[in-house]
Structure 1
Amino acid sequence: MLYHLLFRFHETFSILNVTRYITFRTAAASITALVISLAFGGLLIRKLREFQIGQVIRHEGPESHRPKAGTPTMGGLLILAASIVPTLLWADLTNAYIWIAVLATLAFGGIGFADDYLKITRRNHHGLLPRYKSGGQLVVALLVGITLIVLANKGLYNTRLIFPFFKDLIPDLGLLYIPFAVLVLVGSSNAVNLTDGLDGLAISCFAVAAATFTALAYVTGHRVLADYLLLVRFAPAAELTVFCGALVGASLGFLWFNSYPAEIFMGDVGSLALGGALGTVAILIKQELLLVIVGGVFVLEAASVILQVGSFKLRGKRIFRMAPLHHHFELSGWSEPKVITRFLIIAIVCALFSLTTLKLR
């Protein structure tokens, strides 16, 4: 909205010509998101305490987490506001990609909100029934996949896959792209959700991933850079740089309050929304497979749960002391700050490695 308003006067006030540049609007969106987070974070924490909206701790979780019971939760509402509002202010709202990303993020956040609400009202860690939670995610993911097929039929999208390290391996999935998109979106949203178990862990790793996708979105929409790096170029997808920049600013602002010891937790309303946003952006800029590397920490966390459950059902034995993986290291003697810091280091390494794959083709 602000972009459309300011750019209208760029011929009268030449300084407003900067609003046409994605780099400027991305920086503006990031700063706006950070300011919103810092300005309203304290107020949200106070209001959540007044309404006694506190975290419910699992009985089977580590003993060290018991004191965290009652910490304000549903802080994901702050993340959503701090990322969506700047996007609406600074992005080109005539761009379909922006609306797909925004609506998908809000939809996943809505599922998380329902889950958090039920946990709080019931005063236990059981929220939505798994079939309803998973069903909601599947419906949102299906809608995104179908929308992309419609756009592909109009020549505004394509259903090809880019494989890291292989410049000539670009298969076209056609209608099979719908179940593939569902897998990416549901997997991404759940992976971030599973990682959200320690103070600042999920949001710090997400900030790194979002920053990486900010660069990838810009490169995807840039004619010279996309051709040089042998990427599938989508000029409209460049506008997602603004959305990713807003996610980075919102993440850093929330981390201010969520860092150890956390004053507020994001809840499922935050983790499902952020995971959905990450998966949606990866799909829209045609870096679906690279998401596995960019979100390496999230993949490890999700894989640990799958392996743990599978091993227990098949062998009656556990592989880890506790899943997700961060709890295993906690129970192995690592302090919570040490787990968080080391996982963040892994996230940064994964992000850097993912960027190197752009040239290793």
Structure 2
Amino acid sequence: MLYSLFQYLEKFDFPGARLMDYITFRSGAALVLSLFIAIVFGRRIIDRLQLMQVGEIIRDLGLEGQMKKTGTPTMGGIIIIISILIPCLLIGNLSNVYMLLMIVATVWLGTLGFLDDYIKVARRDKDGLKGKFKIVGQVGLGLIVGITMLVSPSIVMRENVEVENIENHEIVVQYRAEDVKAPQTTIPFVKNNNFDYSYLTGWMGKYAMAGGWFLFIIVVIFVVTATSNGANLTDGLDGLATGTSAIIGTALAIMAYLGGNIIYSSYLNIMYIPGSEEMVVYMAAFIGALIGFLWYNAYPAQVFMGDTGSLTIGGIIAVFAILIRKELLLPILCAIFFIEDLSVILQVAYFKITKKKYGTGRRIFKMTPLHHHYQKSAAESDALLRRPLTAIPESKIVVRFWIIGIFLAVITFVTLKIR
């Protein structure tokens, strides 16, 4: 809204109107505004949730201090969503297809998470929305994103190629003359960092490109589902999912800025994606919303984000990475999410196998998701992995996971230059 207004005022040489042309200015404004909304209006939303008695249902897992959290307001993800959407609607370029897709993803998954939390609170049903409905919602978003990337004329990329200067044998990066629409993405450790999904469907002959897009959409669905569920599982300790996601968001914002600038893209030797720089404004609002929410969500938490927040932030990260063609870097950048996912899968599978074989189920970890493993002492469990022998305080676990998240973000950038 404000972006369009300032674009109009620019025609009359209105003082300061051109500021809205700068991504850095609008990104900074979006971050400050989202931070302000989350902190100031977040307090009022928390008070309203308390009056409505929207409290978290806590199951006794035998963890220290766990039952003290009973009754803490949940559905705080509403704070995050509002703090993202308002700055984007005010400052964002709403004619940009990337911005529109991010707004759709936010509302879509926010609604899905809200329904899950509502069922838990209103019906006192700890299971919430049935898993199959969550999967359908996540798959639906994946289809929307994938198909839009296929059919939208605004979603294109310009492939980078290395050219050797014959005179001094220096390698320089150049871009092809025209934008192309192709199911390409960025991968680490290879020359030019480009990978075309149609390489895997070359056997289809003249239908190879169509097959590549079909494969790409399948990957999009998988990434959205896995990352959204991974963030959901990570949301088990005060500030854990919030802080980890803010770190991931910062890394993605830098990648979007670099990928949307042809000069910086050339330096990193990555594909140039015209128009994607607008997503930096969105991600700035995302980061500000998470930091503002952390004001109340840090240990001891005054509010939980619930599935309204966790499903949404995981989906936002996934869709954002897909749009900037960095989805195959997520296994490194979002390793915490995926390890949390994997710990649950391994625990359940091992328990079922050993129960069938020995009559009694056995465990690999003391408790899953993985962050709970560190909250229990070895004396309380007969799991295969017993270290640490003593329980670690919740706040220390969270900070250590944040440090690991920062390390993973750095490694992700390093992989772009290793080839």
**Pair in the same fold by TM > 0.5:** yes
Q: Residue 160 of structure 1: which of 184, 199, 211 is its match?
A: 184
User: What are the residue-to-residue correspondences of 1:97-136 with 2, within 5 Å?
Assistant: 97-136=98-137
Report sequence identity in percent. Answer: 41
Q: Is 1:291 aligned to 2:291, yes or no?
A: no
1:63 deviation in Å?
Answer: 5.2
- Whichever residue aligns with residue 189 of structure 2, its letter is F
Write the distance in 2 (CA, Å) between the matches of 1:13 and 1:29. Answer: 21
Q: Deviations over 1:86-107 (max 9, x none)?
A: 1111111110111111101211
**Structure 1 residue aligned with 2:416:** 358
1:144 deviation in Å?
Answer: 1.7
**Structure 1 residue aligned with 2:6:** 6
Cα contact 1:321–1:328 (8 A) shared by 2: yes
Structure with the largest fraction of helix:
1
Greater mean deviation of Cα atoms: 200-209 or 97-106:
97-106
Cα contact 1:149–1:175 (8 A) shared by 2: no
**Structure 2 residue aligned with 1:218:** 257
Cα contact 1:76–1:271 (8 A) shared by 2: yes
Greater mean deviation of Cα atoms: 244-253 or 227-236:
227-236
Greater mean deviation of Cα atoms: 58-67 or 139-148:
58-67
TM-score, normalization: structure 2?
Answer: 0.83
Provide structure 1 residue ranges, at least 5 long, that are not aligned to the other structure: none
Write the distance in 1 (CA, Å) between the matches of 2:156 and 2:70. Answer: 51
**Structure 2 residue aligned with 1:230:** 269
**Structure 1 residue aligned with 2:367:** 322
Q: Is 1:246 aligned to 2:247, yes or no?
A: no
Write the distance in 1 (CA, Å) between the matches of 2:248 and 2:5. Answer: 31
Provide structure 2 residue ranges, at least 5 long, that are not aligned to the other structure: 158-180, 198-211, 356-361, 378-390
**Change over 3 Å in CA distance of 1:229–1:193 after alignment to 2:** same
**Structure 1 residue aligned with 2:393:** 335
Write the distance in 1 (CA, Å) between the matches of 2:278 and 2:155. Answer: 19
TM-score, normalization: structure 1?
Answer: 0.96
User: What are the residue-to-residue correspondences of 1:6-45 with 2, within 5 Å?
Assistant: 6-10=6-10, 11-45=12-46
1:331 deviation in Å?
Answer: 0.9
Aligned length in residues:
361
**Change over 3 Å in CA distance of 1:356–1:14 after alignment to 2:** farther
- Whichever residue aligns with residue 292 of structure 1, its letter is P
Q: Is 1:271 aligned to 2:310, yes or no?
A: yes
Greater mean deviation of Cα atoms: 288-297 or 272-281:
288-297
| RMSD between aligned residues | 1.6
**Structure 1 residue aligned with 2:204:** none
Cα contact 1:209–1:294 (8 A) shared by 2: yes
1:61 deviation in Å?
Answer: 6.2
Write the distance in 1 (CA, Å) between the matches of 2:62 and 2:400. Answer: 21
Cα contact 1:37–1:78 (8 A) shared by 2: yes
User: What are the residue-to-residue correspondences of 1:135-154 with 2, within 5 Å?
Assistant: 135-151=136-152
1:112 deviation in Å?
Answer: 0.5
Greater mean deviation of Cα atoms: 245-254 or 313-322:
313-322
- Whichever residue aligns with residue 234 of structure 2, its letter is T
Write the distance in 2 (CA, Å) between the matches of 1:83 and 1:158. Answer: 30
What is the SS of the residue equivalent to 1:182? helix
- Whichever residue aligns with residue 288 of structure 2, its letter is G
The structure having more radius of gyration, on CA atoms, is 2
Q: Deviations over 1:108-165 (max 9, x none)?
A: 1111100000000122411011112222222222222222222379857531132112
**Structure 2 residue aligned with 1:79:** 80
Q: Is 1:207 aligned to 2:265, yes or no?
A: no
**Structure 2 residue aligned with 1:91:** 92
Greater mean deviation of Cα atoms: 167-176 or 100-109:
167-176
- Whichever residue aligns with residue 4 of structure 1, its letter is S
1:167 deviation in Å?
Answer: 2.5
Write the distance in 1 (CA, Å) between the matches of 2:61 and 2:402. Answer: 25
Greater mean deviation of Cα atoms: 77-86 or 350-359:
350-359
Write the distance in 1 (CA, Å) between the matches of 2:405 and 2:325. Answer: 21
What is the SS of the residue equivalent to 2:307? helix
Q: Deviations over 1:245-267 (max 9, x none)?
A: 00000000000000000000000
Write the distance in 2 (CA, Å) between the matches of 1:126 and 1:311. Answer: 23
**Change over 3 Å in CA distance of 1:143–1:352 after alignment to 2:** same
Write the distance in 1 (CA, Å) between the matches of 2:156 and 2:333. Answer: 28
What is the SS of the residue equivalent to 1:161? strand
1:233 deviation in Å?
Answer: 1.1
